[in-house]
């Protein structure tokens, strides 16, 4: 769709925009705030938190749907469900998550338009574009609602069992990191790199979900995950490098730690997160390193061999002792290159 003639024209863009926004743009930012009963500075703060660029005071950029959304937010705050001090944080978390989802869905719709243009040799017309969007949007909304409800249902037990603050939990936190990603990605084309990242995220999501974990977030060369139990974290850490292993792929290493974490707006915060990151940076390709707390929990079972390595000094930890976790079927201790109790972080892989 690099040919301008294959791109939808301004009439198509306006029609799609009105479909998506529920009507034409007719209000300025100040008018929206006045109709919703919100001070202008508050509407601006929320607008920015959602990830949208500023609109000039006289720019008619808003619709009736924007006013309705502010009314709903005011109702939530008045009910006590959303604290006045957390509204911007919630808006920011929703904006970041849904922006990524919208990017993917836009690409999907653009691909559909491109295929249609290739078949017919002409640009997608306004009626065709609007008809495609009208057919697609309700289905996407239904799927999104279903997935959202299923994730809420998965947290019901935690909600009912919570004896303290709901945002503080005991969890295993892990990082899975592609070794040599930066150097390898320099020699890749955009399509090839995109395919590798998609394969990695798909593999990670499948393995983590299989063992009752949760993907917190992904970046190009790694994934941060949590698990409620030590054994689930170990299964993820041992299975993921094996599932990803292939000659044309960079190897994977995993580090994990266990302890109290703060869960906030879908992310996790704790020294445990930093500890898991440091352990990951020390791990060799294909290996799983854990902290003492997670090691102690795993040693209580016969499903794993847990071996201490020599203490090392890394940023933030002067005497960090990693523990190597493996399946009990390994007869020797030289798997992944850990052939004695010496451990020099300089011997490990670097990116």
Q: Average pLDDT for residues 86-90, to the nearest whole number? A: 78
Cα–Cα distance, 334 to 348 (Å, whole number): 14
pLDDT above 70 coverage of the chain, percent: 87
Above 80 in pLDDT, residue 294?
yes
Tell me which DSSP letter residue 189 carries.
-
User: Can you give the pLDDT at residue 346?
Assistant: 39
pLDDT of residue 166: 54
Q: In this predicted structure, what is the pLDDT of residue 308?
A: 93
What does the pLDDT read at residue 350? 36
Which band of pLDDT confidence, cut at 50, 70 and 90, is reported for residue 345?
very low
Query: 115-170: per-residue pLDDT in tens?
Result: 878 888 887 777 777 888 888 888 888 998 998 888 888 777 666 655 455 578 89
Percent of the chain with pLDDT over 90: 27
Distance CA 2, CA 117 (A): 11
Q: What local confidence, expressed as pLDDT, does residue 164 receive?
A: 52
pLDDT of residue 19: 82
Q: Is a pLDDT exceeding 70 seen at residue 335?
A: no
Evaluate if residue 331 carries a pLDDT over 60.
no
Higher pLDDT, residue 56 or 334: 56
Helix axes 64-79, 29-36, angle to 10 degrees: 40
Question: How many other C-beta atoms can be found within 10 angstroms of the C-beta atom of residue 293?
Answer: 17
Predicted local confidence at residue 34, as pLDDT: 87
Model confidence pLDDT, tens digit, residues 69-79: 888 877 877 77
* pLDDT for the residue 56: 82
Q: How many CB atoms lie within 10 A of CB 315?
A: 9
Residue 3 banded pLDDT, cuts 50, 70, 90 = very low
97 pLDDT band (50/70/90 cuts)?
confident
Q: Is 50 exceeded by the pLDDT of residue 342?
A: no
Per-residue model confidence (pLDDT) at position 257: 96
CA distances from 118 to 5, 112, 124, 126 (A): 12, 10, 10, 17
pLDDT of residue 337: 58
Task: For residue 77, give every residue at least 6 positions away whose Cβ sits within 8 Å of its Cβ, in sequence order, or none.
Answer: 83, 84, 87
- Closest by Cα among 80, 76, 81, 74 to 42: 74
Residue, of 170 and 90, whose pLDDT is higher: 170
pLDDT at 159: 62
* Residue 80 confidence (pLDDT) above 50: yes
Range in 105-119, 122-136, 282-296, 321-335 with the lowest mean pLDDT: 321-335
Given a cut of 50, whether residue 42 has pLDDT beyond it is yes
138 vs 229: CA distance, rounded Å: 38
Q: Round to whole Å and give the CA distance between 143 and 155.
A: 19
**What's the pLDDT at 161?**
57
Whether residue 292 has pLDDT greater than 70? yes
User: What's the whole-number average pLDDT of the chain?
Assistant: 81
Q: What are phi and psi of 214, to 5 degrees?
A: -135, 130
pLDDT digits (tens, 9 = 90+) for 217-275: 887 788 999 999 999 999 999 999 999 998 888 899 999 999 999 887 778 899 999 99
């Amino acid at each position: 769709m690099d040919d301008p003639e294959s791109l939808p024209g301004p009439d198509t863009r306006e029609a799609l925009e009105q479909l998506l926004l529920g009507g034409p743009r007719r209000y300025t930012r100040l008018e929206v705030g006045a109709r919703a009963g919100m001070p202008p500075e508050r509407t601006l703060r929320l607008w920015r938190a959602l990830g949208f660029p500023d609109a000039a005071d006289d720019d008619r950029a808003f619709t009736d749907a924007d006013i309705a959304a502010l009314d709903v937010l005011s109702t939530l705050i008045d009910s006590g469900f959303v604290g006045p001090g957390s509204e911007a944080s919630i808006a920011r978390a929703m904006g970041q998550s849904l922006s990524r989802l919208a990017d993917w869905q836009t690409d999907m719709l653009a691909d559909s338009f491109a295929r249609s243009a290739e078949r017919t040799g002409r640009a997608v017309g306004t009626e065709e574009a609007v008809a495609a969007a009208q057919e697609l949007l309700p289905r996407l909304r239904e799927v999104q609602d279903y997935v959202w409800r299923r994730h809420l249902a998965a947290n019901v037990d935690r909600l009912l069992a919570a004896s303290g603050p709901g945002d503080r939990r005991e969890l295993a936190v892990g990082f899975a990191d592609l070794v040599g990603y930066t150097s390898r990605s320099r020699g890749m084309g955009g399509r090839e790199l995109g395919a590798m990242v998609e394969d990695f995220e798909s593999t990670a999501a499948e393995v983590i979900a299989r063992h009752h974990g949760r993907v917190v977030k992904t970046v190009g060369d790694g994934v941060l995950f949590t698990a409620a139990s030590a054994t689930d974290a170990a299964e993820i850490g041992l299975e993921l490098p094996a599932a990803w292993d292939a000659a044309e792929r960079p190897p994977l290493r995993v580090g994990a730690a266990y302890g109290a974490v703060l869960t906030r707006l879908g992310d996790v915060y704790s020294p445990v997160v930093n500890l898991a990151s440091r352990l990951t940076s020390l791990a060799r390709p294909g290996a799983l390193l854990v902290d003492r707390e997670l090691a102690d929990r795993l040693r209580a079972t016969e499903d794993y061999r847990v071996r201490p390595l020599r203490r090392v000094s890394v940023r933030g930890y002067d005497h960090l002792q990693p523990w190597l976790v493996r399946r009990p079927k390994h007869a020797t201790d030289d798997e992944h290159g850990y052939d004695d109790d010496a451990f020099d972080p300089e011997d490990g892989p670097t990116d």
